[in-house]
Structure 1
Amino acid sequence: MSWEDTFKIFLSALTAMGGASIIIFAMSSWLGKVWASRILERDRLKYTTVLEDLKTQNQISIDKLNSSLEAANLKLTIAYGGIFEKQSNAILELYSKLLELELGANPRSLTEAQKWNDYKDQIREAANFYHKQRILIPKSLDEKILKAIEEAHAILAESTSGHTPAEFAHRFSEAKNIALFEMRKLLSVTVYSEPA
């Protein structure tokens, strides 16, 4: 055997083995892809099921929390809704009483005894109502209403001399307007600027 024959045999054997290895490589590659896709599909189904279970559990938890929040909100609405309504009614009535005091603070009419006594009764009525409703009134408004009532008392006290200076009526009007500004804020009415 010559070198040429040996080389041909070796090349033939190598080719035969290479062809088989190419076939084996192709088959194992195909088989690997099939197994990988099956494993991926199985994992995808498994994790899809797990994910759906988690979504369901989370939705149940969210529904329970929403239900608890709605119940708590309803309790607060019932508990505080009445208080806010009472506060609003008290503020509206206090403003009405301040208006009556402003209208009754006419310097000319307070010189008559009956008008003076009527004004004194209006102040007493406003002060009594104010003291009964104070629990519902925030401190910032409380001080302003008290200041307006004190100004009404000053008008009454000054009018005993038979003369009420216009500045007393003006100070009362300013105190009333400052209280009105605070009332509007509390009642969520649009307030454009603070009174001077």
Structure 2
Amino acid sequence: MSWEDALKIFATGLVSIGGGSVVVLGLSTWFGKLWADKMLAKQTNKLAAQLESTKRELDVVMQTTLRFQNEKMVIYRAVIDSVARLLASLDSHESGRLVANEAGARFDEFNEQRMRVYGYLAMLAPQSVMDAQDELMDHLLEISHGEATYEWANVREKALGLLNAVRDDIGIDKSSISYNGRR
């Protein structure tokens, strides 16, 4: 065998190996792209499912929070209605427009509502609201039992304390409201 024949055989082998390498390189690139596309699709589906699950959880939390806030508003309104009714009765009694028997009946009604409202508040109000409620109710009970005199300015101050605690709890405004009238 001559050098020329050996060189031809070597060149032919080298070309065959190079051609096979090109084919192997092409196939591995194609398979790699196919594998990467499948992995990306799998991850995309997984993330989409997680996103949907998180969205459902957030919807539940939002609905629960809204329902809870609405319940707070209903109960706080009941507290305000009950207190307003008693304050109107006390004011009417102090000015002589309400006879003692009628005032007693209104107090009995208030006393029942006061206990019911306290139970409602205890289920959802923070301690700051409960403390303000206690302070106002104790003062009104003292007035009703003749242990304290009815002075509108003192009652108004305690009622505003309760309203400010409620406002703070439901997030209307963190700043306190005050009475700026003359009476």
TM bin (shorter chain):
0.5 to 0.7
Which residue number in structure 2 is paired with residue 5 of structure 1?
Answer: none
Which residue number in structure 2 is paired with residue 114 of structure 1?
Answer: 101
Residues 100, 122 of structure 1: 8 Å contact kept: no
- Percent of paired sites with the same residue: 9
AA matched with 1:103: A
Shift of 1:63: 1.2
Structure 2 unmatched runs, 5+: 1-20, 179-183
Which residue number in structure 2 is paired with residue 188 of structure 1?
Answer: 171
Question: What is the aligned length?
Answer: 155
Q: TM-score, normalised by structure 1?
A: 0.61
Distance 1:136 1:102 in 2: 25
Distance 2:97 2:132 in 1: 24
Distance 1:46 1:59 in 2: 20
Which residue number in structure 2 is paired with residue 175 of structure 1?
Answer: 158
Larger Rg: 1
Distance 1:143 1:50 in 2: 65
Task: Please give the per-residue CA displacement for 1:112-141, whole angstroms capped at 9, x wherever unaligned.
Answer: 313431442243133122233121222221
From 68, 74, 77, the counterpart of 1:92 = 77
Distance 1:147 1:111 in 2: 25
Answer 1 or 2: higher relative contact order, Cα 8 Å, separation at least 6: 1
Q: RMSD over aligned Cα, in angstroms?
A: 3.4
Partner SS state of residue 105, structure 1? helix
Shift of 1:102: 2.5
Residues 69, 170 of structure 2: 8 Å contact kept: no
Shift of 1:95: 1.6
Task: Please give the per-residue CA displacement for 1:20-48, whole angstroms capped at 9, x wherever unaligned.
Answer: xxxxxxxxxxxxxxx9xxx7x98876665
1:65/1:115 CA distance change after superposition, 3 Å = same
Shift of 1:145: 1.3
Which residue number in structure 1 is paired with residue 3 of structure 2?
Answer: none
1:1-196 equivalences under 5 Å are: 49=34, 51-77=36-62, 81-106=66-91, 107-109=94-96, 112-133=99-120, 134-158=122-146, 164-166=149-151, 169-189=152-172, 191=173, 193-195=175-177
AA matched with 1:108: S
Task: Please give the per-residue CA displacement for 1:131-190, whole angstroms capped at 9, x wherever unaligned.
Answer: 331212222212211221111112212379xxx342xx322211111111122233332x
Residues 105, 152 of structure 1: 8 Å contact kept: no
Distance 1:45 1:194 in 2: 70
Distance 1:108 1:173 in 2: 17
Q: TM-score, normalised by structure 2?
A: 0.64
Residues 110, 116 of structure 1: 8 Å contact kept: no
